[in-house]
Amino acid sequence: MKTQVAIIGAGPSGLLLGQLLHKVGIRTLIIERQTPEYVLGRIRAGILESGTVSLLREAGVAQRMDSEGLVHHGVEFIFDGKRIPVALSELTGGKSVMVYGQTEVTRDLMQARSDCGAPTIYGVQQVDIHDAKSDRPFVTFEKEGEKCRIECDFIAGCDGFHGVSRQSIPRDVIREYESIWPFGWLGLLADTPPVNPELIYAHHERGFVLCSQRSLTRSRYYLQVPLSEQVDSWSDERFWGELKRRLPDELAMKLVTGHSLEKSIAPLRSYVVEPMQYGKLFLVGDAAHIVPPTGAKGLNLAASDVNYLWRILTQYYQYGRNDLLATYSRLALNRVWKGERFSWFMTHLLHDFQGKSDFDRKMQEADRQYYLGSQAGLTTIAENYVGLPYEKIGE
C-alpha cells in the first residue's frame, strides 16, 4: 500500500487530521487497533474550545455540532459553599466554549471519512514504524493474520498514550516529563437533566466535584476519589448520595438522579514528551501529552497539534515548504505546556490533597480567594478555559 501520510490511530486526533488533509487533496491511510464501536464506546471529553470548534468547521464536520452542541458563555465555581459565576464571554471579548461530547465529534469524523471514501483499516495488530529518519519511512502491521506494509512520506502518530508511535523513538533522543496525581475521577453518565445550566467546578473538603453535561437531557458528573477505589464498589445510589453531600443544599435538592449509562474511574496524569517529532514521524495528541481533565484540555490540545501539523503538511505539499516541517514540535509544545500549566493549576486549586501541610492548605485557599475574587484572576481563568490563541505557522 502507498499513501502520502500514514496515520496511526482513529481517535479524534487521527480522524481530524485525516479529514483536514483530505480537504486539501492530501492522501491519508488510517490504521486503528480497535473496532469503530469500541472507539465510540469510550466516554471522554465534553468541552470544546473556540479554536477546536473553528477547526471542526474548517474540516467540514460541524453541521451536527452547530445544531446540537450547546454554546456556553459562562462556567461556575463553588468553594466554601459559595457560588462564583465566571462570565467567560464577558471576560474574553466574546469567546465561549461548546458542550459537545468527544463521542459525537468522533462519530461525525468517522461519518465524514466514510462519506469521502478515504481508507481506514480497523482491527490491525503488530503495528511497527520503520525508517522514520529516512526519506522512505514505512509502517507494517497485521490484519487477520496477513502482513501488510504502508509506504508513505510521513507518519502521524495519533495512537494515544499507550500507542506504539512514541515508543518507537529511541529513548536517548527524547525527554519525558511526568507527574502522577494521588487521586482519580469517578465519572457517571445519566439521562437526567443537568443540575445547573452552566458547568460547576466545586471544591469540597470531601473532594472535588464536577457537574458537566452532554445535552439538556444528559448529565455527566465526576467525583474525586482515592486511587484505591474500585468502580464496582460504587452503586448508582452511593454515587448520587456522595455527589449531594458535596454540593450546596439548593443544588443537592434540585439534582435529578437516575440509572447510570456508564461509570468509570480515570487516574489523573500530567505528561509531556519532547520533542514531538522524530524524522518523518510526528506525535499528535495523547501520544505526546496527557493532562488531568480539570481544565478540559485533553481533546483540545489534540486539536491544537492537528491544527499545526495539517497546516505545515499542506504548505509542504502545496508550496514545497520543507523548512516548516522542523517547526512542528516547537509550535505544538508552546501551546501544550500552557495547557499543562492550566490543567495543573486547576487541579491544584480545586482538589483535596490528603496529607498536605497546613501551610500548603492555606496557600491553596489563598489561591482560590485571589483567582476567584479578582477581575484579573477570573480573566486569567476565563482566557485559558476558552482556549489560548494558536500561533501562526512560519513566523
| Binding-site member from 109, 199, 296, 333 for ligand RFL (CB under 6 A) | 296
Number of Cβ within a 10 Å radius of residue 326: 11
For ligand PHB, how many residues bind (rule: CB under 6 A)? 9
Residue nearest to ligand PHB (CB): 46
User: What is the C-alpha separation between 126 and 33, in angstroms, rounded?
Assistant: 9
Q: Are 371 and 203 in contact (CB under 8 A)?
A: no
Site string for ligand RFL, 163-182 (x = CB under 6 A): xx------------------
How do 75-79 and 82-86 pair as beta strands?
A: antiparallel
356 is catalytic: no
Q: What are the residues facing 82 on neighbouring strands?
A: 79
Q: Which of residues 250-279 bind ligand RFL (CB under 6 A)?
A: 266
User: What is the C-alpha separation between 298 and 46, in angstroms, rounded?
Assistant: 10
- The listed partner (ligand RFL, ligand PHB, none) that binds 384, CB under 5 to 8 Å by sort, is none
118 binds ligand RFL, rule: CB under 6 A: no
| Binding-site member from 50, 52, 102, 329 for ligand RFL (CB under 6 A) | 102
User: What is the C-alpha separation between 66 and 94, in angstroms, rounded?
Assistant: 17
Task: State the catalytic residue, choosing from 22, 72, 203, 263.
Answer: 72
Q: Give 71-74 contacts, CB < 8 A, sequence gap 24+.
A: 71/96, 71/97, 71/98, 71/99, 72/47, 72/96, 72/97, 72/98, 72/99, 72/198, 72/199, 74/198
Q: Are 61 and 54 in contact (CB under 8 A)?
A: no
286 binds ligand RFL, rule: CB under 6 A: yes
CB of 36 or CB of 248, closer to ligand RFL: 36
Q: Which of residues 192-211 bind ligand PHB (CB under 6 A)?
A: 210
- The residue with cell 449531594 is 244
3-class DSSP state for residue 225?
strand
| Binding-site member from 51, 69, 157, 160 for ligand RFL (CB under 6 A) | 160
129 binds ligand RFL, rule: CB under 6 A: no
Q: Which of residues 13-72 bind ligand RFL (CB under 6 A)?
A: 13-14, 31-34, 39, 44-46
Q: Which of residues 275-294 bind ligand PHB (CB under 6 A)?
A: 293-294
385 is catalytic: yes
User: In Å, what is the CA distance from 341 to each residue of 64, 145, 337?
Assistant: 32, 44, 6
Task: State the catalytic residue, choosing from 137, 275, 292, 293.
Answer: 293
Exposure string over 13-31, b if 16+ CB within 10 A, otherwise e: bbbbbbbbbbbeebbbbbb
Q: Which of residues 36-75 bind ligand PHB (CB under 6 A)?
A: 45-47
What would the grid cell of residue 303 be?
486539536
10 binds ligand RFL, rule: CB under 6 A: yes
User: What is the C-alpha separation between 100 and 66, in angstroms, rounded?
Assistant: 9
| Binding-site member from 49, 108, 153, 159 for ligand RFL (CB under 6 A) | 159
For ligand RFL, how many residues bind (rule: CB under 6 A)? 32
CB of 179 or CB of 374, closer to ligand RFL: 179
Nearest-approach distance from CB 333 to ligand RFL, in angstroms: 15
Residues near ligand RFL (CB under 6 A) are 8-14, 31-34, 39, 44-46, 102, 124, 127, 158-160, 163-164, 266, 285-286, 293, 296-299, 302
Residues near ligand PHB (CB under 6 A) are 45-47, 210, 212, 220, 293-294, 296
Residues carrying an active site annotation = 72, 201, 293, 297, 385
